[in-house]
Amino acid sequence: MELWHIRGGKRLEGACFVQGSKNASLPILAASVICPASTQLLNVPQLRDVDAALRILRHLGCRAEQRDGEVSIDSRSLSSCNIPHSLMEEMRSSVIFMGALVARCGEARLSLPGGCQLGRRPIDLHLSALRQMGAEIREDGGEIFCSAPELKGAEIVLPFPSVGATENIMLAACAAKGETVIHGAAREPEIAALQDYLRAMGAEVRGAGTDTVVIGALRPEKQIACRIIPDRIVASTIACAAACTGGNVELRGIDPRQFSTVLRFLKQAGCDIISTDRSVRLRSEGRLKAVGEISTAPYPGFPTDAQPVLMAALLKARGLTRITENIFENRYRQVPELCRLGADIVTHGRIAEIWGVDSLHGTALTATDLRGGAAMIVAGLSAQGETLICDEGHISRGYERFDARLRALGADISLA
């Protein structure tokens, strides 16, 4: 159990580099098993989810070590294609190992993944795509056994641009005979990052960042090196914290295009934002304006992962902001806790209405999930008095040394 202690009212000011992306790191870690090779990854964040992925790699027989921001993997010693439930249940993205193991071993045995409880997140699209590539899949009591002695390239149409399904198909397709084409693919920057890694591994991949991704032949390399892109959701979180505390913060090493929808709403709320190719400076007077309507959508739309932290930034914004959550049906779990701080939020199904209040008052909260916990930190930073957040480890799944990063910007925050 972790306890976050925040004394609100401090203005965030200064500059910081943004940590490596969790959502880019995890599929690349899984991809490292596709062929026998050594991989060096730079800028990998030290997170609970990354640690869980490394433990899966070790269970599979690989050597996998992390030191500071560097991860070394040797997959030549891979000796298993079975991931037990105790490891699968730790994170949702563990399902991405299915495509990688089928590509390497011709089979995979695993269970349904865990992660934050944000509502139904079925893996039907993953399984359907693998079946179209020739895999036989058997499900039994929450366990999945996938067998594919020979995968074949296929034209796969995704009815929804699922990030996980796109990634799983890309990994499996590296071992398929012939070309695989994904129509309706997810377009997130993390998909492009995975493409860069697969290319470094020797795969022919093109189209990432568009809705059509093509995967061709693999000519395996023995040594692979890759740098993880910055985390656009962490950047969004710090920007939201600076916005609602009247901050003046420069985010370095981040491409503003990757979270431009978040920046657009913060500018609409009254923030002054100056961007370059690799940095963003945000200045705020503290009291924001409501932004009207926000709807979450697949990239390049407004990201569902940024919805809770932007909601927290707008709790004292003048007027009404209405959010429509189109990705997860249980993404408002943070709302009752934010209301304990004095927020005025009413939810109707997938819609949340936020009426700005004059002030927030610190109290004891309980983190509900990764992004909901981050939202409570943002709100606590702008509240009067002390806020205590009791967290079972959700926040450390996605935020690396977040207390130290915020303290460096002037926040009065500690983690015990």
**Which residues are catalytically annotated?**
116
Q: What is the SS3 string spanning the chain?
A: CEEEEEECCCCCEEEEECCECHHHHHHHHHHCCCCCCEEEEECCCCCHHHHHHHHHHHHCCCEEEEECCEEEEEHHHCCCCECCHHHHCCCHHHHHHHHHHHHHHCEEEEECCCCCCCCCCCCHHHHHHHHHCCCEEEEECCEEEEECCCCECCEEECCCCCHHHHHHHHHHHCCCECCEEEECCCCCHHHHHHHHHHHHHCEEEECECECEEEEEEECCCCEEEEECCECHHHHHHHHHHHHHCCCEEEEECCCHHHHHHHHHHHHHCCCEEEEECCEEEEECCCCCECCEEEEECCCCCECHHHHHHHHHHCCCCECEEEEECCCCCCCCCCHHHHHHCCCEEEEECCEEEEECCCCCECCEEECCCHHHHHHHHHHHHHCECEEEEEECCCHHHCCCCHHHHHHHCCCEEEEC
CA 98-99-102 angle, to 5 degrees, is 85
What distance in Å separates the CA atoms of residue 113 and residue 104, rounded to the nearest whole number? 20
CB atoms within 10 A of CB 3: 12
